[in-house]
Amino acid sequence: MNIIIFFIAFVLAIDEFALTQTLHRPLIASTIVGALFGDVQTGLLIGAYLELASLSFEETFFLNFRKSLVLASVLCTALSATKTLSSEETMALAVSIIIVGTALSHIIDFVVTLLLPLSRNQAEKGKSVFVYQLIALLIRGVAFGVCASYLFSKGTEIPALLSSITTTNGWIFNAFAIIGVLLPSLGIAVLMRNLSVKDNYGIFFAGVSVAMLAYYVSKNFYVTILLVALLAIGLGYYDFNRAEKETVKTTNKGGGEKWW
């Protein structure tokens, strides 16, 4: 049983970021797990619940920032299908499992960051970075597989275990979540250096202010990005046209135009 859980969590965790990017959806994932454990009906029920919940999480639980529902889909369905816990009990556990799954995802994101220097070395030599793609894939799959099979092996102790994990080790999860939010600043700082942003600090801070305003109004990452990207394109277009017109004017003054 644990091997099935490991395997299915392994595949779905990878599918969340690569391959079909479809199978990990709670409705599909839970149906597959339900079918593997011989109880499709429970799989469909829990899948439908989690799918609807995931849509509502977008707005209510603020979990839309790289939340991972793979662990919840696999564990909730497996626990219900094997009658370890009732459907109501597993559904009540769903949010705690999503938190653990999301935290695990953040820890993996940090671990995969350690592959970046190696990838840079490969790129410097002009070699393929496929090995690091493969390592990242295995890290993600194995971590989710081990976590899912470990939690599943705890059976009826899961509620107490999850509660102790989220309360006693909550600050460590939080630390990795904050790393997940702050570390992209390093990637952006490298781009800032390579784009010589110091020559355009005014524009940089204009971007900061507009994004703050857009986020404050929309409360949505993607809407903010889209609004700001359109503004950035507009800004670049305006500057390009203005510079072109100025070039034409200068050329005309010193060139063939009869100013007299």
User: Which of 1, 38, 58, 153 contacts other proteins by CB under 8 A?
Assistant: 58
Q: Tell me if 76 sits within 8 A of 88, measured CB to CB.
A: no
Find where tokens 């790129």 sit: 123
State the Cα torsion 28-49-6-85 to the nearest 10°.
Answer: -140
Q: Determine the angle formed by the axes of helices 87-113 and 158-168, rounding to 10 degrees.
A: 40
3-class DSSP state for residue 5?
A: helix
- Choose the binding region for other proteins from 2-10, 69-77, 149-157, 215-223 (rule: CB under 8 A): 215-223
3 interacts with other proteins by CB under 8 A: no
Interface with other proteins (CB under 8 A), residue from 1, 92, 160, 189: 189
Exactly one of 78, 79, 140, 149 binds other proteins (CB under 8 A); that residue is 140
User: CB of 6: closest distance to other proteins in angstroms?
Assistant: 19
Q: Give the nearest distance from C-beta 153 to other proteins in angstroms.
A: 25
Among 124, 255, 256, 259, binds other proteins (CB under 8 A): 124
Instruction: Tell me which residues in 7-46 interact with other proteins (CB under 8 A).
Output: 14, 17-23, 25, 27-28, 31, 40-41, 44-45
- Please say which residue, 92 or 230, places its beta carbon nearer to other proteins: 230
Q: Which of 184, 217, 250, 257 binds other proteins (CB under 8 A)?
A: 184
Which residue blocks in the chain are alpha helix, DSSP H? 2-15, 26-36, 40-57, 70-81, 87-113, 116-124, 130-153, 158-168, 170-182, 184-194, 201-218, 221-254
Shortest CB 87 distance to other proteins, Å: 12
| Binder of other proteins out of 12, 76, 106, 145 (CB under 8 A) | 106
Six-digit token string for 166: 């989220």
Rounded Cα distance, 51 and 73, in Å: 9
